[in-house]
Chain A
Amino acid sequence: MSGAGKSPSANRLHGAQSRPAGGDVAQFLAEILGRVPSSDEFLNPSRHLSAALRLADAEARLESVYRHYAEAQFQSRNAELDHMQDHLDDLLYFAKSPEIKAEVRLRILRLERASKFYSNQAKRLAGRYLREAQSARDRALGDYLDIVEAGSSN
């Protein structure tokens, strides 16, 4: 099973809602500005640097969300519920009572439906997060370009 042994905290750290890695933001910032800003510039950032920083943050977040989105597209099941289904499958072979076996069979089939439902929900959520991250990035880009244009016309 693909999700077996994965801790819940790992999911939180790598989920679509996690903060982008600082290194990614710094790389995007260098790419946007064409140079690595000095640490002094961050103490009293100019409007240009602030806008570039917001854009870099939005770009790094978009990347992180996009990775999550791409992974979610190929998952058609919920890993945690599949793990529970595996436990029930074991119980089916080791339980002695026919009543318990009948209940286990019923629950295996119920989990089947739940696994697909939550997997589809995860896909929908990943799509929504991507659209939000894309909009935030486009806004940040628009703001940055406005500031660059205003700076060059002054």
Chain B
Amino acid sequence: MPDDDPTMRRLPNPARMLLADESATEYDALLQEYFADMEPVGALERRQVELILRCDVDIDRQFRMIAQHLNPLGEEANRGAQMLAEWYRLELRHPDAPEDEDAQRKPPTLTLPEGDARLTPLIASRYAQRRELIALHHREVTFAERRRRQAIELLYRMQDRRRRASSQVEVADAEVIEASEA
């Protein structure tokens, strides 16, 4: 079995599977906490702990996605409608309209008030527009939770096996000692 160096070789390199809004440093710090909690021994158990962490990253990611889809100030979902709106705007624009009209039309940057119940209808409207997508993300949360449960179960089985094997070795050693004493 492989060596038990706690500074795990980066396999996989987290930068290869984290997204742009996720930090590899935070991921590594979390991984170290998981190692401290679950006390894996050997590369296979460490890998198993990493897969558990990855399920948690997935769950968090899916909830972030859902929140983004429900953000009332989020990007407009209908790209085709935007294309047509822009075409209509240019078609209907007066020929003498000033060139910098587009710059004047840019809306000011808005920030959302936190916990404002007046946003609920807007959020509900976003939900109605994207309910299939949101249902898909909820489904992925369910699958990630199931993967997480299975991964934890597998880790415990591996640790049980390891403990059993080491206790057998101890028993065998004890017999040898007794035999030599006799």
Chain A positions within 8 Å of B, measured between CB atoms, are 27-28, 31-35, 59, 63, 66-67, 70-71, 73-74, 76-77, 82, 85, 89, 92-93, 105, 108-109, 111-112, 115-116, 120, 123-124, 127, 131, 134, 138, 141, 145, 148-149, 152-153
Contact = CB atoms under 8 A, between A and B. Distances in A.
Contact of B143 (A35, A66, A112, A127): A127
Interface stretch (B12-20, B31-39, B94-102, B114-122): B12-20
A126 to B, nearest CB: 9
18 contacts: A32-B2, A32-B44, A34-B2, A63-B17, A67-B16, A70-B18, A70-B19, A73-B19, A85-B80, A92-B83, A105-B87, A109-B80, A112-B81, A116-B132, A127-B139, A131-B143, A138-B154, A152-B165
A124 B136 contact: yes
A148 B133 contact: no
Contacts of A66: 17, 54
B17 A70 contact: yes
Interface residues of B, number: 39
A82 B84 contact: no
Given A85-B79, A148-B1, A123 B136 contact: yes
Interface in B138-182: 139-140, 143, 147, 150, 154, 158, 161, 165, 168
B65 interface: yes
B156 to A, nearest CB: 13
